[in-house]
């Protein structure tokens, strides 16, 4: 990685502002944390700073309060969970900027940890307001971004504050950039990409970038309907993007021209609606009834994908294979998770709902890497420079 990390700077005795991604899921009824994987992901960076006598000031957003204080989105429960994981007290501020916060930071001793209140209680955070970024910058001597999932956003805490403090990557961000960068630029071959999700329009840039790099491309999810339609196959009442049929045809032609194997579903699960109690059945792709919707890939498609993937050296996957939030339309995604987990290859899960499916099944540990970023991972796969990465110090600075 060509950006500086924690290892490249002296942190002992310094006040360090760390942007973490503690945007964890909460139970709607109790407000309890239902999955603390994002908190755990930040522990290596926090432990490193504590162990070297830094004063640690953590900042994060939670949910979408829209610049207003929402009691159900306060970070106190997260501070409590972090304290349990660190086995040491974690103070939680009532604000994230201002004189009271500055006084609280000034009172911290080396090795102590303070968690600031939800950044998005201030509308200035998402607007990347310079005054708000400066106020965050006054809290520290060094800035560390360890929130890969937010690095595609040019917000005050991800981009703006790095203009006022020396800025480096935390260990989570370093791992994300290294692993995903190697997978795109120096993969063990054959290199396969599995791309799913609802819409082609959401993944066009990914597909265009990935076509320059892969040997094999597998398409699933709702977007597969547009690919099938572009081959003049009936897709019933499935949602397709008529304005993207030409783009899809061009992508398939480019793949053929480059010698890239592009595999589409050969059988699909269909139903009259996407309701949990809808009657579903599996049909070949050429036999989708006119009154049915495609909701998932079928078992023969899983077998096909398995045959293609077992010879690969690198596999990267972004996007579910069906409407996996609904149990009867989740089998394709779940079967593919199990298949990928058993591959003897470098396997990278590109964040978002795909990562959620992997973690929900308890198979994250069997993958080479599960990205903590949804939109950030997607934009990285598109080949974009993420704003939160661009402002970090270069190795030669």
Q: Which residues are marked as active site?
A: 38, 199, 352, 375
DSSP state of 229: H
Joined tokens for residue 210: 């990935």
Q: Are 146 and 172 in contact (CB under 8 A)?
A: yes
Straight-line distance from the first to the last Cα atom of the chain, in angstroms, rounded to the nearest whole number? 14
Maximum CA pair distance of the chain? Answer: 70
Burial of 247 (0-12, 13-18, 19+ CB in 10 A): middle
**Number of alpha carbons in the 13 Å side-chain half-sphere of residue 387:** 15
H or E element in which residue 208 lies: helix 204-210
> Under 8 Å CB-to-CB from 81, ≥6 apart: which residues?
33, 36, 39
Distance, in Å, from the CA atom of 41 to the CA atom of 80, rounded to the nearest integer, reads 16
Q: How far is CA 397 from CA 2, 391, 392, in A?
A: 10, 12, 10
Other beta carbons within 10 angstroms of residue 271's beta carbon come to 21
| Nearest residue to 326 (alpha-carbon basis) of 222, 223, 178 | 222
Name the 3-class secondary structure at 272: coil
Which secondary structure element, helix H or strand E, spans residue 269, and what is its range?
A: strand 267-271
Q: Please state whether the peptide bond connecting residue 240 to the residue before it is cis, i.e. omega within 30 degrees of 0.
A: no
Q: Tokens 């987990």 label which residue?
A: 341
d(CA 298, CA 328): 12
């Amino acid at each position: 990685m060509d950006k500086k990390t924690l290892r490249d700077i002296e942190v002992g005795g310094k006040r360090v502002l760390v942007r973490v991604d503690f945007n964890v899921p909460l139970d709607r009824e109790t407000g309890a944390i239902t999955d603390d994987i994002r908190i755990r992901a930040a522990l290596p960076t926090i432990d490193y700073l504590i162990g070297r006598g830094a004063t640690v000031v953590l900042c994060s957003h939670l949910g979408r309060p829209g610049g207003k204080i929402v009691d159900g989105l306060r970070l106190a429960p997260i501070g409590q969970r972090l304290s349990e994981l660190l086995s040491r007290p974690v103070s939680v501020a009532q604000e994230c900027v201002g004189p009271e916060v500055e006084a609280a930071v000034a009172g911290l001793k080396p090795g102590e940890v303070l968690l600031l209140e939800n950044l998005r209680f201030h509308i200035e955070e998402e607007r990347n307001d310079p005054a708000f970024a400066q106020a965050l910058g006054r809290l520290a001597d060094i800035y560390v971004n360890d929130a890969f999932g937010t690095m595609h956003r040019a917000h005050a805490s991800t981009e703006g504050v790095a203009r006022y403090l020396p800025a480096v990557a935390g260990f989570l961000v370093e791992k994300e950039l290294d692993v995903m960068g190697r997978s795109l630029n120096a993969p063990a071959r054959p290199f396969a990409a599995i791309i799913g999700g609802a819409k082609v329009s959401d993944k066009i840039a990914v597909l265009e970038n990935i076509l320059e790099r892969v040997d094999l491309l597998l398409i699933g999810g709702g977007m597969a309907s547009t690919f099938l339609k572009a081959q003049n196959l009936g897709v019933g009442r499935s949602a397709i993007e008529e304005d993207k049929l030409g783009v899809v045809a061009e992508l398939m032609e480019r793949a053929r021209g480059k010698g890239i194997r592009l595999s589409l579903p050969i059988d699909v699960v269909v139903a009259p609606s996407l309701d949990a109690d809808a009657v579903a059945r599996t049909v070949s792709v050429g036999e989708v009834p006119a009154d049915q919707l495609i909701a998932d890939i079928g078992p023969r498609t899983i077998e096909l994908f398995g045959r293609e993937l077992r010879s690969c050296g690198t596999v990267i996957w972004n996007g579910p294979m069906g409407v996996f939030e609904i149990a009867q339309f989740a089998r394709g995604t779940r079967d593919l998770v199990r298949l990928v987990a058993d591959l003897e290859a470098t396997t990278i899960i590109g964040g978002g709902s795909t990562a959620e499916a992997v973690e929900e099944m308890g198979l994250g540990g069997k993958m080479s890497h599960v990205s903590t970023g949804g939109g950030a991972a997607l934009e990285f796969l598109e080949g974009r420079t993420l704003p939160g990465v661009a402002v970090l110090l270069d190795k030669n600075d």
